[in-house]
Amino acid sequence: MSIFANAKVNLYLDIVSKRSDGYHNIETIFQEITLCDILDIEVTDSGFQLTCNIPELENDDNLLKKAYDMLKPSFEEEFGVQVHLEKLVPFGAGLGGGSSDCANFMLALKTISGADISDAELVKIGAKLGADVPFFLQGGTAIGRGIGDELEKIPVNFGFPMLLVNPGIHVSTKDAYSGCVLGGGSDKFTEILSGLKSGDVVRVAENLFNGFEQTVFQKFPEIQELRDLIKGSGALGAAMSGSGSTCFGIFENTDSARNAAERISKNKKYFTKVVNSVSR
């Protein structure tokens, strides 16, 4: 069984308030994209085994092993899995690759096992594994609130091309939240929602917002330069995704995005990828 685990960008991300448990409440708009990791899953008699094209991810602390262990009690009959993860989404980059791998693996385990697990139960388990996992259990476009696990699906009937650029800088979530500014983007939230519902890609692109940018850009000016480079390369709008360091731009058409990717990759040794939004 081969599973394609798509990544995401955040069209909007506002840090709303700090919680008593030390986490933060956010308001975000998740957008699934066509960049994906690939999981090849083989059923075995027992146990969990993982291989990966990035050897350092082959350890028992990975989310796939944790998901297997958490779902195992619900299996109708005991079985094991051998998983090969072909990691194509940059990790620690604000694209949710690890969370998507986990969510899609959970869905595969449910299918293989025939377990009687409701969608709500799956989401509850997923939230314990990662704040973005519940989104990837449904994909498409959605508003996320709370720590990102309280979801409201947005019906979107059009797609748009994007250029992703990752400079290879690791931004820890702790660093991103340290000194972050609370609130500040509510008008843009309304504008992006209106654009998504009406099919107005320009309206979406011109109102992209990420509340982490101010803090992250102070610590890593190169990431701000990258976002501005994408804007200056013909994007309708550009922003950082998640807590970084990937930046993305929305383009009028795929050719414009490809031309921008060629210009940027000539001067910088960055990961660049032209993708499309995914509607569900």
Q: How far apart are CA 89 and CA 97, in angstroms?
A: 6
Long-range contact set of residues 19-22: C-beta below 8 Å, sequence gap at least 24: 19/147
Inter-residue contact 53 to 101 (CB < 8 Å): no
The torsion region of residue 126 among left (phi > 0), alpha (psi -120 to 50) and beta comes to alpha
Q: Please, what is the Cα angle at 165 between 170 and 67, to 5 degrees? A: 55
**Residue 85 in tokens:** 């993860």
Q: How far apart are CA 100 and CA 18, in angstroms?
A: 26
269 in active site: no
**Residue 159 in tokens:** 């797609």
Q: How far apart are CA 227 and CA 246, in angstroms?
A: 9
From 14, 37, 101, 132, the catalytic residue: 132
Q: How far apart are CA 260 and CA 223, in angstroms?
A: 17
Give the single-character DSSP code of 94.
S
132 in active site: yes
Q: Which residues are catalytic?
A: 8, 132
